[in-house]
């Protein structure tokens, strides 16, 4: 994927760390999470919670601190492995220079003869547009995108490079797929950007409303399942993966790396924290905040979200609270 490569020795030097238990000329070609890393991958340990995973990782090189008990593992010891990770991503996955040729539809794009591209729309290098797909005026498709058949992309929608859409997908106006996730390694009060080098995948028959933002994954995909419908002004952060046939109502936000099962309904203005799972067939009431993993078939409401019945009882009790307090004060 990345045409870049660097030796372990050189990477240690550029990150200002110490190379340990590793042949200096080992070639590294990409950064990947601990579970997905292979012999050519750099990965990192920034939280003791993942120590066991780090020990089992197939990564060719790990970024760790000098105190992490990782003897025998090829590693670079450095003060801030998370900052090192941000820098390593920038070294191995630099942002490609755009390849514009002056034409709205790049000469290397492959547009099916039955697709229709409006005036004012742009298509980037090497992108593929499927049969009968309609691209409205002012939509901007980046480089290396793959758009399936019978899709409709409305005006001003922006697909960053490497976005892929299945068949029969509708993307409404001014929606953004593939913007950078909100990822920074903070050191000394400065927020150092973690380059976001993943992509966005949208399954068949999905529909995405207007002014929705779906960030690209940090290293891998952000994924919208088949038949899932996302309403206007929702935010789907980097690395989120929804199941199939979910309904995500307007102004909802889902934080990074959270996963949804199938047939999940998030009502309007819901917030979901990062790194949790919402089980299949779950319904979350409007304006709720989900802060913990939920089992399949849950029905929750409130902030933090709790079983809907319990939330109803709490609200009823709350309404009677001022009266209760008055009575207790009178009794004394």
Number of residues that bind a copy of itself (CB under 8 A): 83
26 near a copy of itself (CB under 8 A): no
Catalytic residue from among 136, 238, 245, 263: 238
Question: Binders of a copy of itself among 65-84, rule CB under 8 A?
Answer: none
Question: Hey, how many other C-beta atoms are within 10 angstroms of the C-beta on 239?
Answer: 26
60/8 Cα distance (integer angstroms): 9
d(CA 177, CA 141): 10
Sign of CA dihedral 44, 49, 53, 55: positive
Interface residue with a copy of itself, options 41, 164, 255, 259 (CB under 8 A): 255
Nearer to a copy of itself, 72 or 189 (CB): 189
The whole-angstrom separation of Cα 157 and Cα 1 is 26
Q: How far is the CB of 198 from a copy of itself (least distance, A)?
A: 15
**Residues 308-327 contacting a copy of itself, CB under 8 A:** 310, 313-322, 324-325
Touching a copy of itself, residues 179-238 (CB under 8 A): 179-180, 182, 184, 189-191, 193, 207, 209-213, 215, 227, 229, 231-233, 235, 237
Residue 238 falls in the annotated catalytic set: yes
Instruction: Kindly state whether residue 114 participates in binding a copy of itself, applying the rule CB under 8 A.
Output: no
Q: How many CB atoms lie within 10 A of CB 248?
A: 28
Residues 129-188 that bind a copy of itself (CB under 8 A): 134, 136-138, 140, 142, 154-156, 158, 160, 170, 172-176, 179-180, 182, 184
CB of 29 to a copy of itself, least distance (A): 25
Choice from 102, 107, 113, 330 touching a copy of itself (CB under 8 A): 102
The reply on whether position 90 binds a copy of itself by CB under 8 A is no
CA gap 167, 252 in Å, rounded: 25
**Helix (H) or strand (E) run with residue 52 in it:** helix 51-56
Q: At what angle do helices 8-15 and 81-92 cross, to 10 degrees?
A: 120
Q: Please compute, for residue 165, the number of CA atoms within 13 A of its CA located in the half-sphere on the CB side.
A: 33
Asked if residues 152 and 133 have their Cβ atoms less than 8 Å apart, the reply is yes
Interface with a copy of itself by CB under 8 A: which range of 23-31, 34-42, 247-255, 292-300? 247-255
Question: 222: part of which helix (H) or strand (E)?
Answer: strand 221-224
Among 286, 296, 299, 308, binds a copy of itself (CB under 8 A): 286
Interface of this chain with a copy of itself, residues 264 to 283, rule: CB under 8 A:
268-269, 271, 273
Q: Nearest 5°: phi and psi at 186? A: -85, 125
The number of angstroms, rounded, from the C-alpha of 302 to the middle of its chain's C-alpha atoms is 25
Residue 87 contacts a copy of itself per CB under 8 A: no
Q: Which residues belong to the active site? A: 238
């Amino acid at each position: 994927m990345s045409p870049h490569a660097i030796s372990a020795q050189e990477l240690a030097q550029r990150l200002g760390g110490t190379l340990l238990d590793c042949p200096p000329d080992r070639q590294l070609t990409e950064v990947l999470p601990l579970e997905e890393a292979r012999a050519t991958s750099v990965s990192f340990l920034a939280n003791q919670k993942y120590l066991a995973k780090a020990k089992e990782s197939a990564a060719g090189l790990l970024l760790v601190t000098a105190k992490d008990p990782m003897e025998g593992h090829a590693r670079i010891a450095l003060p801030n492995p998370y900052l090192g990770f941000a820098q390593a991503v920038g070294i191995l996955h630099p942002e490609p220079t755009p390849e514009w040729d002056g034409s709205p539809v790049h000469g290397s794009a492959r547009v099916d003869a039955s697709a229709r591209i409006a005036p004012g729309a742009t298509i980037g290098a090497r992108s593929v547009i499927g049969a009968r797909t309609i691209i409205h005026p002012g939509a901007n498709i980046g480089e290396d995108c793959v758009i399936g058949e019978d899709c409709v992309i409305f005006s001003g929608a922006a697909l960053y490079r490497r976005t892929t859409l299945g068949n029969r997908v509708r993307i409404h106006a001014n929606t953004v797929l593939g913007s950078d996730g909100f990822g920074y390694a903070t050191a000394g009060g400065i927020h150092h950007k973690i380059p976001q080098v993943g992509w966005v995948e949208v399954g068949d028959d999905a529909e995405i409303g207007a002014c929705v933002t779906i960030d690209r994954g940090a290293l891998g995909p952000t994924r919208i399942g088949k038949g899932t419908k996302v309403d206007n002004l929702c935010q789907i952060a980097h690395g989120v993966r929804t199941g199939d046939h979910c309904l995500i109502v307007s102004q909802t936000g889902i934080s990074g790396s959270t996963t949804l099962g199938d047939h999940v309904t998030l009502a309007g203005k819901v917030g979901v924290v990062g790194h949790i799972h919402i089980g299949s067939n779950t319904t979350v009431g409007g304006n709720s905040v989900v802060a913990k993993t939920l089992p399949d078939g849950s029905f929750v409401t409130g902030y933090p979200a709790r079983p809907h019945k319990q939330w109803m009882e709490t609200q009823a009790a709350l309404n009677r609270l001022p009266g209760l307090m008055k009575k207790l004060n009178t009794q004394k």
